[in-house]
Amino acid sequence: MPWLLALMLAAGPIAAQSAEPARTPSATPPAAIAPDRLPKQAPALAPPAAPASAASAASTSVAAGVALTASDLEAWLDGRIPYALEAGDIAGAVVSVVKDGHVLLQKGYGWADVKARVPMSAETSMVRPGSTTKLFTWTAVMQLVEQGKLDLDRDVNDYLDFRIDNSFGRPITLRHLMNHTAGFEEGLKDLLGYDPALAPSNEAYLKQHPRPMLFPPGEVPAYSNYGVALAGYIVQRISGEAFDTYVERHIFQPLGMQHSTMAQPLPERFSPNMAKGYRQASDPAPSPFELVITSPAGSASATAADMARFMLAHLQQGQVGGARVLTPATMARMHSPSGSAPPGFNVMAHGFFLEHRNGRVLLGHGGDTVVFHSDLGLLPDEGVGIFMSFNSRGKDGAVYLARKALMDGFLDRYFPAPAVTDPPALATAVQDARQIAGRYQSSRRVEHGFLSALYLMSQSVIEANEDGTILAPSGALGEPAVFREVAPQVWRKQGGTERLALMDIDGVKTVVDSENPVSVLQAVPPLRAAPLMLGALGLSVAVLLLTLLGWPLGALLRRADRAPSGATPAVRRLRRWQRAAVILGLVWLAVWLALIQPVLNTDLALYSASNDVLFGALQASGVFLVAAALVSIWVATRLLSRPLRADTSWITRAWSVVVALSLTALVALGWMGHLLRFNLNY
């Protein structure tokens, strides 16, 4: 399901799961395997004893590329971005690139306002960086760590005026929040809105929508906007300043970021500069200004020129133009791993994604709202940074490919990768391929709310090939690619560098992707496999629809033949009860589908506390589905009983059993998908 993959891959405020540097293959459960064949989880997903420097993690093997000059870069961008905008139905884009302490190039393309024909400008057009906002939050956290006011390894409950319940009995720390290993379940309720009157504050959101714990802290990565929002609230409490005010005073003002704000709604003084966001450039009207409720996780508005100043600060030991936001020692610490990972695998670096790209270290973070899509990357050893933002989702989500192609193309042109040679297959390749093969679900998921039904249907598959290679989802978009085993239980993308590792984490078969340090793939229990559930749903709906259509069709045929139904009064009454049960089941399902449909279009405004009565009533209506299933079972039992058996054909009796099984299957699926459980914390 591309819509859900986009949500789940967004390391942005739209969960759902957009596609940022959190690159996760959506995968699925395999055949049973011997536990002793799976390596136990090393400290790869836990905090390291001593963080290594980012520079030491880079490969020493690099290739020379085209010289990065302003003239060559502008010509290269001019040849790519306008075509991408037109082909993808994207309104506009801005790009800024810094090098060696200076702005190398900053430029806008396309339109900030399509109707008014206002061009995009890197200097004046404000965009929404989405989850790239998180880098401001983590910079603020490190400022307070530097001042001795925060400790990354202290229980966050010590800093809060409410308590984060942890059923696993382990404290959650700021380091866990930075690494997205606190163990929180994903949440979509009140994540995005448009009406300020209905939008809760970050504090209210945190207290009203506590996320359930899926994993023990420090063990399983699961990207969490809630966790970052929690860190922002801690900054607010410890500093004594509103969070947006803190960022304004301690980051934006010192760095000269005059067209940047965390405030929502957008302050009036910035309105003339705000680029409009579009689903598609050809849409008749732009999207309203998006309100990111978890504001420290994604509420920023800024120009590309201001983002260039932020990049320069991080590339120049914390200072720009004489103003300093962090000391060199703290900045070096921030750019070092805050977790640990297998060799060659990406890792979190105090809120940054620390990637190994083309033999170099790349620090970055992407971000998505519904209509704005951004990415920021720093090459600290080369003194280079790039920021890009598009103000449209584009036709069929074209912006995700456009953004990826632009970042990959920039790196490949100016900092190309060394040649990759595929090694020969291991002797254990065929056997190990069978072990990793299966069906998986992402650790970043909703599991306890009614939207969990969608995540149950969004599993992905890893397949074993006869030659010992595997076919697995790859990269941010989860496109199938061939991987070859290069070490025991480790596979590398054929012709590339992406790796997959098979592990056992807390007894769960787990696949870790080298490009995604913020979620893993966990084997799906066989009874929750998507094909089984979708098959059961499809057959059940088909049976109920055929039953519904069969009644008027039968009546028409009998009328044409002028023949009576031949059914006794008792059988006719049972048929009426069966019809009522079928209609009730189909109506219940249709209403749920209608109310879940906005998620498929990445429209989350419906899912807010203002609609609790609606969703609560719908969950409570599950009692009618259960009643319908019980009625259908009663009807089948009566028709199969000795008194009525002689009055009905064997087809009628058999079909009554099939109808009963179909409605019972809907009840089972509704229960597994949490549609029948009263829970408004989704």
| 406 and 538 co-located in one domain | no
Got the DSSP string for 504-516?
EETTEEEEEETT-
Sign of the CA dihedral with 535 first, then 540, 546, and 548 last? negative
Domain termination site, one of 364, 396, 414: 414
| 85 and 224 co-located in one domain | yes
Whether residue 435 is contained in a domain is answered as no
Q: How far apart are CA 268 and CA 272, in angstroms?
A: 8
| 397 and 535 co-located in one domain | no
Q: Is the pLDDT of residue 676 over 80?
A: yes
pLDDT at site 14 = 35
Of 239, 54, 263, 252, nearest to 136 by C-alpha is 252
Q: What share of the chain is helix, strand, coil (3-state, %, to 5)?
A: 40, 20, 40
Number of domains within the chain: 2
pTM: 0.88
The pair of three-digit structure tokens given for residue 559, joined into one six-digit string: 């009328």
- DSSP three-state, residue 360: strand
The pair of three-digit structure tokens given for residue 669, joined into one six-digit string: 């699926």
Q: How far apart are CA 85 and CA 124, in angstroms?
A: 20
Whether residue 153 is contained in a domain is answered as yes
Average of per-residue pLDDT across 603-631: 93
Whether residue 504 is contained in a domain is answered as no
Whether residue 120 is contained in a domain is answered as yes
Q: How far apart are CA 597 and CA 603, in angstroms?
A: 9
Whether residue 434 is contained in a domain is answered as no
Whether residue 509 is contained in a domain is answered as no
Average of per-residue pLDDT across 542-560: 75
Phi (first) and psi of residue 158, to 5 degrees: -70, -20
The range of the structural domain enclosing residue 311 comes to: 2-414
| 248 and 386 co-located in one domain | yes
Q: How far apart are CA 130 and CA 150, in angstroms?
A: 25
Q: Is the pLDDT of residue 48 over 60?
A: no
Q: How many helices (H) and strands (E) does the chain have?
A: 20, 23
For 270-290, what is each residue's pLDDT tens digit?
999 999 999 999 999 999 999
Domain termination site, one of 414, 444, 464: 414
Of the pLDDT bands very low, low, confident and very high (cuts 50, 70, 90), residue 58 is: very low
pLDDT at site 476 = 73
For residue 205, the domain's CATH number is 3.40.710.10
List the single range of 134-138, 141-145, 272-276, 557-561 with lowest mean pLDDT: 557-561
Instruction: Please give the biggest Cα pair distance in the chain.
Output: 96
List the single range of 180-184, 266-270, 342-346 with lowest mean pLDDT: 342-346
| 340 and 193 co-located in one domain | yes
**By the 8 A CB rule, do 358 and 62 touch?**
yes
Whether residue 103 is contained in a domain is answered as yes
**Mean pLDDT across the chain:** 88
Q: Is the pLDDT of residue 111 over 80?
A: yes
pLDDT at site 405 = 96
Cβ-based burial of 546 (10 A; exposed 0-12, middle 13-18, buried ≥19)? middle
Of the pLDDT bands very low, low, confident and very high (cuts 50, 70, 90), residue 51 is: very low
Average of per-residue pLDDT across 400-415: 96
pLDDT at site 423 = 82
For 367-400, what is each residue's pLDDT tens digit?
999 999 999 999 999 999 999 999 999 999 999 9
Whether residue 469 is contained in a domain is answered as no
Q: How far apart are CA 491 and CA 443, in angstroms?
A: 20
Of the pLDDT bands very low, low, confident and very high (cuts 50, 70, 90), residue 566 is: low
Domain termination site, one of 356, 381, 414: 414
